[in-house]
Amino acid sequence: MSENQEKVDFKVDLTKTPEEIQEQHQAKKEEEAKSKKEVKEEVKDEAEENVEVKEEVAEEEKKPEETQEEVKAEERDLTDKEKIIKEYLSSTYNMDEAQLKDVLSNKEDKVELPEEVQKYLAYKNDTKRGMADFVAAQKDYSKMSDIDLIGHYMAQVNPEYSTDDINYLMGQEFGYQKDDEENVKRGKILAMKKELRKAKEYFSNVKDKYHAPLESSAENVPENYKKALDFYKQYSDESTRAKAKEEKSRELFTKNTKSYFNDEFKGFEFKMGDKKLFYKPKNIEETVNAQSDLSNFISKYLDKDGNLVKAKEYHTALSMAMNPESYAKFFYEQGKADAVNDVVRDGKNVDMNVRTNVEASKPGPKFRVLQDSNDFSGGLKIRK
């Protein structure tokens, strides 16, 4: 009995049921397993801590080497850039690094530019436009008519448009016919007033910001700026003379037009051999207004972008305008020929047969006169 007890791993409590004994045994196993797991986790945590410490030490040892490599790379990159800059300055501007530093540090005395040159440079920098537009900005727009002011404004804000484009655009937006409906006319007038206000505000701002007197001057002006100033003055004078010439031509055109369309105007004259024919339009005033601007003629054959879209009609009208006598003679001769043909055609339809006289028979006795006495043959004959 004693030998068997020595071989048993655990004691059996006979006072408990087999189920209770089994539960006790299972709980003991779970407790032992849990204890072993906690020991393993503690060992693992210690190992991870050792690894992290080693990595930190390795990174600290490696960091100086990486920093040195980065510094060397930056130094190489900076050296390459400086070399490229020096080569660029030398080849492009014939300037070395020292001269560049002098320029950047503004060691040289500042040159005082004339006021008009300063204004021009500011205008060019702000608007990216050249001398011609700057000169146009110096004009006195207060003396211009409303339509001319709008035209100059549209040319300024639309530099890509030609003069014909501007004229066409203005005709489309502000032009109207005398027989148009009142709402159409009023809409065109209001649109023109709105555009006029924009034009006045625009040129007022330009004048306040960029207007410069031509008489200003300054000492120590570089030679190239003096040449630019002389060119500016010369260009401005030429522009003024061209404008005066244009105004004079316009006045002469208006004067001659009114002189031609006077109260004694019979119509447009065409010579047909020894004859003179006249064609008089129904509305003289509309004719004068339409013919006072060539854009009214051209715009009918262009699209909104100023491109020719009605080539047939345009060249036909232009040819007739350039050769009015030839076309008038052609139509006149053609009319005469058509009239002769009509007469000949009508003449061929006439009945040329001679009518014969038919005696009408009358009731009653009839008599016949005999020329010879032998014809009587026994006396007077009576026919019934």
pLDDT band per the 50, 70, 90 thresholds, residue 218: very low
For residue 65, the number of C-alpha atoms closer than 13 Å in the C-beta half-sphere is 5
Instruction: Note the pLDDT of residue 193.
Output: 92
Both structure tokens of 60 = 């600290």
Residue 51 has pLDDT above 50, yes or no: no
Structure tokens that stand for 223 in this block: 């030679």
Tokens of 24: 């006790």
Q: With CA atoms as reference, report the closest residue to 153 among 183, 178, 174, 184.
A: 174
Per-residue confidence (pLDDT) for residue 197, from 0 to 100: 92
What's the pLDDT band for 194 if we cut at 50, 70, 90? very high
Highest-confidence segment of 87-96, 295-304, 353-362, 370-379: 295-304
pLDDT confidence of 341, banded at 50, 70, 90?
confident
Q: Which residues, other chains included, contact 1 with Cβ-Cβ below 8 Å and sequence gap of 6+?
A: none
The pLDDT mean for the chain works out to: 70
Q: Is the pLDDT of residue 3 over 50?
A: no
Q: Give the pairing of strands 268-272 and 275-279.
A: antiparallel
DSSP letter assigned to residue 214: T
Residues 6+ apart with CB under 8 A from 280: 265, 266, 267, 268
φ, ψ of residue 308 to 5 degrees: the values are: -70, 120
pLDDT single digits (tens) 112-137: 556 666 676 777 777 766 666 666 66
Lowest mean pLDDT among 25-29, 187-191, 201-205: 25-29
Q: Which two tokens stand for residue 163?
A: 């003069």
pLDDT bracket for residue 345 (50, 70, 90): confident
